[in-house]
Structure formats: C-alpha cells, structure tokens
C-alpha cells in the first residue's frame, strides 16, 4: 500500500490509487465539488471558459479559455487532453474582449470572444 494523504473532507487517497480525471469542470465552484483535493491560490476563475468538449468514455477533452485585460485584449489558452497526454497553447489577441451571454434568469450560459470596437 502506498503513502496516504488526508484531505479536509475526510477522504483519503493513496499514491497507488488510480484516480480518473474529471473532464467536465467549467468553474472553480464545480471543480471544488468534483475534485476532493483541489487547492486554489488567487482567483481560480481568472481564465474564463469560452468553449469545451469532452468524452469521458474516450478520455479526451478540448477547451478554449480566455483571460481579459480590460481595454487591451485577451490571452487565449487552448488545451487538448487525450488520456494522460496534454498539449496547451496560449496567444495574446489585442483589441478583443469576452462577451457573456445570459439566459432569462441572468445566468451565464455561454461566452464568446468579440472585437472591443463593435
């Protein structure tokens, strides 16, 4: 049996345990509910999810996130994960901003990158 680490919600994991990755988190609050040992420093939602697709049965996930710098532009981050393999890319895009689309109850239901001049 491997070493045991204890976590605040009284669940334990051993270093020998195989933990499946959660592929469908989209906010820090959702991640807190699904990942027992997650830790944050700073704002866990600095990057806003723009789009995401995943398949638990096939073990893959693709996402696009953006961090807005007001009146300047956005850093766009693209992540692709297939099994244990992860690839990421980030690029600065000037003169764009994140547009949040809301449902009739005022909840964010989608986001998109748009020109800040429109």
Predicted TM-score (pTM) of this structure: 0.69
pLDDT tens digits along 105-115: 999 999 999 99
Domain that holds residue 44: 4-115
Residue pair 14/2 in contact (Cβ under 8 Å)? The answer is yes
Per-residue pLDDT at 23: 60
CA distances for 61 relative to 24, 102, 106, angstroms: 8, 24, 28
Alpha helices (H) along the chain: 28-34
> Which residues are bridge partners to 112 per DSSP?
99
| Total number of domains in the chain | 1
Per-residue pLDDT at 27: 73
User: What is the share, in percent, of the chain residues with pLDDT greater than 90?
Assistant: 59
Residue 41 backbone dihedrals phi, psi, to 5 degrees: -130, 125
pLDDT tens digits along 5-63: 434 444 555 544 555 666 666 677 777 788 888 888 888 889 999 999 999 899 999 99
As a whole number, mean pLDDT of residues 60-85 equals 96
Beta strands in the chain (DSSP E): 4-6, 12-14, 48-55, 60-69, 73-82, 85-94, 96-102, 108-115
Q: Please give the full DSSP string across 16-50, using - where no structure is assigned.
A: TS--PPP----SHHHHHHH-TT---SS-TTSSEEE
């Amino acid at each position: 049996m491997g070493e045991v680490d204890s976590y605040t919600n009284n669940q334990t994991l051993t270093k020998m345990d195989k933990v499946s990755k959660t592929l469908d988190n989209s906010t820090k609050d959702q991640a807190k509910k699904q990942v027992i040992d997650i830790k944050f420093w700073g704002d866990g939602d600095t990057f806003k999810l723009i789009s995401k697709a995943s398949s638990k049965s096939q073990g893959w996930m693709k996402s696009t996130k953006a961090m807005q710098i007001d009146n300047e532009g956005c850093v766009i981050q693209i992540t692709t994960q297939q099994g244990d393999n992860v690839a990421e890319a980030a690029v600065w895009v000037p003169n764009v901003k994140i547009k949040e689309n809301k449902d009739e109850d005022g909840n964010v239901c989608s986001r998109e990158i748009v020109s800040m001049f429109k």
